[in-house]
Amino acid sequence: MREKKAACRLFLDHSGQVYRSLVSSVNPSEDEDIFLDMHMRYLCRAARSIQQFVDATGVKTSIKLMKSFYSLFVLVAVVATSYALPNSLRARDEICSTVIATFSIAVGDKTVVLTTLGCETDNSTSVETLKARQSATDPTDVCDELCTILCGISGDLPPTTEDCAVVVDAITILNGAISPTFIVESNHEQQLVYGTCAFFFENFSPDTLEYCWLSLSEIGSEAASACLPPTQPVHSLGLCTAGDGTWTAGVGHS
């Protein structure tokens, strides 16, 4: 029994680090710990079953089986991450629902809508405080900051590739027609929508942030490649979240 437990622990040592790194940006809670522990126990039992099968079938088969198991491991980790997302990210449509301003961008015979939204969060800043801060400080540039991609659910179906391509074209137009960057106030969201697809940038920090149009296009496209079909057939939301959780950019169903 001790040998089996030791083998399982060695097998999952590296995988466990990868698994937990996928959810490192999630705020810890008791429910989340229980959820992750449940999946790690499941993976450990699966590893024991694989080891028993390997003992009976040989090395070549074990390599193939280990590869299959690792693919399953990554899938479970991604699904776990999507369920463990903070409410501020998972329910963005409900939190960022106050329309502040809208603007239309013509892309050929199509129209993309650019919307500024207000977000209701626990750290919402009053208008007076926000105005005072704006007059005292310049926006914080986060164009080149790193972020971590997470997958989730935003609607029953994923956005279509064709609709997202139109949004990317609109972002390219904005980058060339106006400033290459845009400003997002504290607890606000900038969103571009066409058909089923929405690219967005959310600012949950207490400060005003500045982001690049091309960064939004690149991050949204990377999140789509990582989280949407055909890579992930069950997801409809791809997020890239800053390490400190102050902002997120991504793509989802509109």
User: Domain residues of the chain, as ranges?
Assistant: 2-84, 89-253
Instruction: Give the model's pLDDT for residue 217.
Output: 96
Is the Cα torsion angle 32, 88, 253, 191 positive or negative in sign? negative
Instruction: Give the model's pLDDT for residue 97.
Output: 81
What is the band of 93 on the pLDDT scale with cuts at 50, 70, 90? Answer: low
What tokens does 49 get? 């079953």
Would you say 137 and 207 are in contact if contact means Cβ atoms under 8 Å apart? Answer: yes
Q: Residue 157: pLDDT above 50?
A: yes
Q: Residue 74: pLDDT above 70?
A: no
**Lowest-confidence segment of 9-23, 44-58, 205-219 by average pLDDT:** 9-23
What is the band of 85 on the pLDDT scale with cuts at 50, 70, 90? Answer: very low
Instruction: Give the model's pLDDT for residue 155.
Output: 76
Q: Residue 26: pLDDT above 60?
A: no
What is the band of 98 on the pLDDT scale with cuts at 50, 70, 90? Answer: confident
**Lowest-confidence segment of 16-20, 160-164, 232-236 by average pLDDT:** 16-20
